[in-house]
Structure 1
């Protein structure tokens, strides 16, 4: 929120400097994010009036002006502004004046000069040249009653400071200048200027029929008819300036009045063109399929969800309740009769609706946080007063107030324990201190019993719901800078992790050691990824996505990693290795509601990685090779070590059909590893296929508890065997058969160390006698044999080897080579 310091001091003016004022607000929780001067520094610029303006004799676009600045003589000044004419009052920089610094950072000093042979004793200034606005279309025209010779900084109040506050959502009562002044008064003890709302003289009892159909949407609706207003007038400069210093551009008198009261009192309101309303108004929930053209030019269509509040007349929708008015009943230069509306919309009925329609408004920002329902009629009186001052005519007639209160929110009573407040704040506080702090903020506090204070939250405080809310208010009044610095007291009892598990940090550390870099991505992804890349036809759709293409929750981390890869490849990255630990989301009706789960949704953690480009960093000692399936398979094995995973051929929508494996631990599938599917490689325009893996994090976190085993007293015995098997036989089948043959025996390990395939024959060639068939391969396995207590005998060794060969022959049809 932005506002000028002078406006704030109009309601509460403590004896503090600008910086002290900003610090006081910041330390009370109203963070002052920026302090900016209204205009940059300049000197010697005064109010002047053009008495004469004649054409320059040697230049078509220049005029020679005689300017009165309140001195004994008129100043001869050459000016090229298109609006330089007799009778207007403008800022005049006299000789010796310094204009705001230019692009070089140095101030521009006015000297006597010659323009096309005519001497000029000064300069007439535009708003841009003064640094007030970017408008450089002509001279800044001042009101006709601007005193000649007065310093422009003083006249335009350019020594003012703009405060920009960064407010948290619970400080909705500070979304107005008067609301901030109320806080400042409580903080400093400076009196707060009381507001008065004089009732306008009522000339008629006309009332616009209003029917409130949805009392859960609107708790109070107030309105008034005003006839015969003049909308051709210009908004007063003082109001234009204040709106501009609040970051609001002036539009038209009636719109400006409504905006002004919103910034002044925090009350969003709307002014309808009465003659454009058909029949009466109906306040209700919108119906699916209804459309409304808004003031911003957008046409929206109402959906079933979320429910949207509307104001409608006999012909259709007129405005979005609490957010924005409609174009059909907007005021214009031809408006004669108006209807002023101020209502109370329940915050939950407005919250999120602006984002649903992809825009935001100052009104919606306030209503979804809560606007005081108590003073709707008083604020209409304030708007009426400004309408009469600015747009009033002798024929203007003010009608009676119409005020309906079908569902006013009930006041909330919250109790505060003084001892609890002292414990939370971390310093002793007395009951009287608590009472003074709360009452000073306008929170009516009484003693319920000794040590217990009861507070009935006023209508402008929607954030007072719990005892902790009152504790926060007391801490704010004490001042955060006055709270003592004390170290937390807690028992030192370290929480030890079970030996059979490791932390997610250890997994991150292990992957980083393997050369991968961690990425963090959105859990929201494109629906196409879920349907085609993850094979999930039951994706969880978001009701209110942050972007149109991020519309569903992910059930796989692979899409996010591919997006990271594409981002880096597009920037000429040659080698990419990334991983992510993140949550994925599935629909699951069996999941119950708890502190850590959401009913109907399963949210497991996964770890996924991607490798692309060269297998190793560029180096002179070895030739460059591209990363392949076995490189990443080795990384997965290293990540799971000392657990020994098993890999079996499988299929995955994102992975190559012939280069994809399912990862198993103890016979249970925990994920996949494989090369990206050619379809997706082509769609993502990748020079080579990345190799990816995705595993269940719970399985990766599990680890075996180390078990002590004595060092063997006798050396291992090694025997190599080479067997010929069919090409379709896998390494896992070989290892399974060897293990089955020697269960409980002397085999300690078996390692495949060579694979031989026959050379492919050309057309007409015949295989040599005794050679392998084209559909066969030779596997060489080294068997390590040993016994814990004694040396092995030759007969034992031969028997073990023979048992392995027989098992391979029986189960896989193998033969010794």
Structure 2
């Protein structure tokens, strides 16, 4: 919200400088985002009246003007502005004046000069040359009653400052100059000038019949007919200037008056062309199929969720948002209907966003506008209309339908002192609230406040505590160091930190990425197999409508983003939370009923396993075993198991489920060909997603002495069926009863004959294993070694139907 300081001081003028005033508002909760002068500095620019304007003898576009600047004689000034003519008063920069700096940053000095051989004793200025606006279409024409020779800065009140406030949504009562002044008076104790307008006596009895059929939309609707106005009347310059300094351009007198009262007092209103209304007005909810052409030229469709003002023939206005084009006032308007209403905030909130625009009126109505002042504001608008456009006013119709009920709010002084952090008595709390104009009833430590109609933000005790804190002054809060015991919490050796996991992944060549938890619903359905994701009530974008239950979609999006920028090798990971429906979850301080929110770690690898290098021919793609090795590094020294599985996002024949100590902790595999084609990926990436808690857990270190006796190694080759896996073979070896001598078993060769050979039948293969045997007590004998080997061979024969290869 933007307004000039001078307008604010008309309502409340504390003995503070501009900077002190801004600091007071900011510390009172009304953050002053910017202070900016109305006009940059310039000197010796006065009001001049053009007495004569004759063509230049040597230039068609120049005029030689005789200008009266109040010095007793006329100055000859050559001017090229198209509107330079006799009889107008304009800014005149005298010789020696300094105008605002140009693009080079240096002030522009006015000197005595010649234009095409004609002396020029100064310069007639446009608004752009004085940096008042971007208008460079001609000279800045001043009011005809501007005193000749007077300083333009004083005439136009340019020694002023624009305040830009950044208001939070709960400060709807401060969305006007008077509202800010009311807060300033409470903060400083300076007197507040209350706006008062004498009622306009009716000059006729014409009324417009209005029916309010939607009390949940409109709580109060007031209106008045004014006849015989002059729509072509010019808006007074003081009003144009104030609107401009609020960021609002002048449109026409009637529109300017409506906007002026909104910025001044916070009450949006609308002025209808009475002669274009068919029959009577009805305030109701819209109906499916209805359309309305708005003042901004857009045609919108309305439905049952949007409030409207309609006549007997069509919809004429969006309730609380914008008026319609059909009943807009124009130069042909003679009779008008002035409307001011109270629209329930919940009935207006979000409606503008449906049509991709916002209005100043809607911004105020959706936060709450004082319902008790509609009649007074119509009186003020009527007075301005008559003063500027003339006309005869009729009686005011006031339909009070359903005003909001304001319940008393209680405040405990002891509670306020505890929350604010400083000692407060009930008397101090009462004084602070009374300065805000609130009615306070004190009963011991308990204060009861009846919120006034303009304060929609006062509903609970914490609201009153906030009011007490900002009126007393945040700067008065004592500086008290916190008192809390410092308890050292040693890190458990059975768990590593997330930072350590990030460093390990980075050491493996991955880069961390951070993504939104909001994703497309198609990702959940296709990549996670989740037909019922957690949906958002108010998503920030149509493509971010549900909460993710898997990290894979986010990682694929990162891959797609990098491939679009010509990356040929991508390795990324993410530590993030996922959201899964689970009826067993109850609401606690950290959980929400029905939704489980575990942390996951996901990774994606694409392209060459180790980048471009001289020792590797070609550019092979990363495969399942590259990612399998990375996962084993993450979980080391614990041993995990990989079992063939299926996952909606992964290739059905190249996917494994990861088990740790018999518990499933996630999946690893190649992206499904269907999704690779859909995402338009040149090659298939490898992905994994694991439970973060399982990855962070680790075995406590157990120290063992260095072996004193040298281990023994034996190589065996066993013939097994083609279907026997490496995991099954190792499991059988480790299950053998070797008396605790087996230390390690490593597969070092796989033999599949190209054709039938001795000892191997079709469908069989030979697996060669190196066994490492050792004892902590003694050197192994041949008998012990042979016994352990025979036990292993026997176990393989029993479990896998294998046999020792000759």
TM-score clears 0.5: yes
Q: Give the deviation of 1:720 after TM superposition.
A: 3.1
Could you list the per-position Cα deviations for residues 133-160 of structure 1 after superposition, in whole angstroms to 9, with x for gaps in the alignment? 1111111111111111111111111121
Q: Report whether the alignment pairs 1:511 with 2:505.
A: yes
Looking at structure 2, the residues matched to 723 and 218 of structure 1 have their Cα atoms a distance apart, in angstroms, of: 88
Matched, 1:35 2:35: yes
Q: Which residue is 1:353 aligned to?
A: 351
**1:246 counterpart = 2:246:** yes
Distance 1:91 1:703, change over 3 A: same
Q: Equivalent residue for 1:764?
A: none
**Residue 550 of structure 1 aligns with which residue?**
544
Task: Output one character per residue of 1:314-368: Cα deviation in whole Å (capped at 9) or x when no partner.
Answer: 3343333222223333333333322222222222222233233332222222222
**What is aligned with 1:563?**
557
Deviation at 1:163, TM superposition (A): 0.8
Structure 2 residue aligned with 1:428: 423
Q: TM-score, normalised by structure 1?
A: 0.90
User: Which of 413, 418, 423 is the aligned partner of 1:418?
Assistant: 413
Rounded to whole Å, the distance in 2 between the matches of 1:290 and 1:497 is: 66
Q: Which of 578, 581, 591 in structure 1 is aligned with 2:572?
A: 578
Separation (CA, whole Å) in 2 of partners of 1:434 and 1:252: 47
Report if the CA contact (8 A) 2:56-2:62 is conserved.
Answer: yes
Alpha-carbon distance in 1 for matches of 2:272, 2:416: 48
Greater shift in the superposed pair: 209-218 or 382-391: 209-218
- Equivalence for 1:384: 382
1:209–1:633 Cα change, 3 Å: farther
Specify the alignment match of 2:366 in structure 1. 368
Distance 1:527 1:666 in 2: 34
Name the structure 2 match of 1:783.
771
Could you say which residue in structure 1 is the equivalent of 2:645?
A: 650
Tell me the residue number matched to 1:440. Answer: 435
CA distance change for structure 1 residues 32 and 711 in 2, over 3 Å: closer, same or farther? same
Alignment check: 8 A CA contact 2:290 2:302 kept: yes
8 Å CA contact retained: 2:737, 2:788: yes
1:694 is aligned to 2:671: no
How far is 1:678 from its partner?
4.6
2:668 to 670, 673, 693: 673
User: Partner of 1:805 in structure 2?
Assistant: 793
Secondary structure of the residue aligned to 1:128 is coil
Q: How many Å separate the matches in 2 of 1:772 and 1:63?
A: 112
* TM-score for the superposition, normalised by structure 2: 0.91
Equivalent residue runs for 1:360-759 within 5 Å: 360-392=358-390, 396-449=391-444, 451-494=445-488, 501=495, 504-587=498-581, 595-599=589-593, 601-616=595-610, 627-681=622-676, 684=679, 686=681, 688-704=683-699, 716-725=711-720, 728-742=723-737, 746-755=741-750
SS of residue paired to 1:400? strand
Check conservation: 1:276, 1:328, Cα contact below 8 A: yes
| Alignment correspondent of 2:292 | 292
Give the total of aligned pairs.
Answer: 804
The Cα shift of 1:792 comes to 4.9
Equivalence for 1:319: 317
What is the deviation of 1:25? 1.0
Moved more, 18-27 or 685-694: 685-694
DSSP 3-state at the match of 1:90: strand
Structure 1 residues 560 and 294, CA, compared in 2 at 3 Å: closer, same or farther? farther
For 2:51 and 2:747, how far apart are their aligned partners in 1?
A: 104
SS of structure 2 residue aligned to 1:332: coil
Moved more, 92-101 or 797-806: 797-806
CA distance in 1, matches of 2:502, 2:277: 64
Match of 2:217 in 1: 217
In the alignment, the residues of structure 1 paired with residue 195 and residue 174 of structure 2 have an alpha-carbon distance, to the nearest angstrom, of 16
Q: Which whole-Å CA distance do the structure 2 matches of 1:784 and 1:682 have between them?
A: 47
- The separation in 2 between residues aligned to 1:279 and 1:796, in whole angstroms, is 111
> Is the CA contact 1:589–1:599 (under 8 Å) kept in the aligned structure 2?
yes
SS of the residue 1:206 aligns to: coil
Distance in 1 (CA, whole Å) between partners of 2:392 and 2:647 is 76
Residue of structure 2 in register with 1:234 after alignment? 234
How far apart are residue 466 of structure 1 and its match?
Answer: 2.2
Aligned to 2:200: 200
Q: How has the CA–CA distance of structure 1 residues 640 and 78 changed in structure 2, closer, same or farther, with 3 Å as cutoff?
A: same
For 2:282, the equivalent position in structure 1 comes to: 282
Q: How has the CA–CA distance of structure 1 residues 326 and 650 changed in structure 2, closer, same or farther, with 3 Å as cutoff?
A: farther
> 1:181-196 counterparts in 2 under 5 A?
181-196=181-196
- Tell me if the contact between 2:55 and 2:63 (Cα under 8 Å) persists in the aligned partners: yes
CA contact (8 A) 2:738 2:791 kept: no
* Superposed displacement of residue 274, structure 1: 2.6
Shift of 1:3: 1.0
Instruction: Compare 104-113 and 77-86 and name the one that shifted more.
Output: 77-86
- Whole-angstrom distance in 1 between the partners of 2:564 and 2:392: 68
1:174 matched residue in structure 2 = 174
Instruction: Please tell me whether residue 337 in structure 1 is matched to residue 335 in structure 2.
Output: yes
Judged with a 3 Å threshold, the aligned counterparts in structure 2 of structure 1 residues 377 and 735 are, in CA distance, closer, same or farther, namely farther
What is the alpha-carbon distance in structure 1 between the residues aligned to residue 119 and residue 204 of structure 2? 64
TM-superposed CA distance for 1:17, in Å, is: 1.0
Cα deviation for residue 252 of structure 1 reads 2.4
Q: Is the 8 A contact 1:616 1:625 kept in 2?
A: no
Supply the distance in 1 between the matched residues of 2:587 and 2:216 (Cα, whole angstroms).
28
C-alpha change, 1:96 and 1:814, in structure 2 (3 Å) is farther
- Structure 1: how far apart are the matches of 2:562 and 2:517? 20
* Range that drifts further, 706-715 or 798-807: 706-715
Paired position in structure 2 for 1:78: 78
Between stretches 153-162 and 743-752, larger displacement belongs to 743-752
- Note if contact 2:738-2:787 (Cα within 8 Å) is conserved in structure 1: no
Per-residue CA deviations over 1:112-170 (Å, capped at 9, x if unaligned) read 22222222221111111111111111111111111111111111111211111111222
Rounded Cα–Cα distance in structure 2 between residues aligned with 1:771 and 1:249: 97
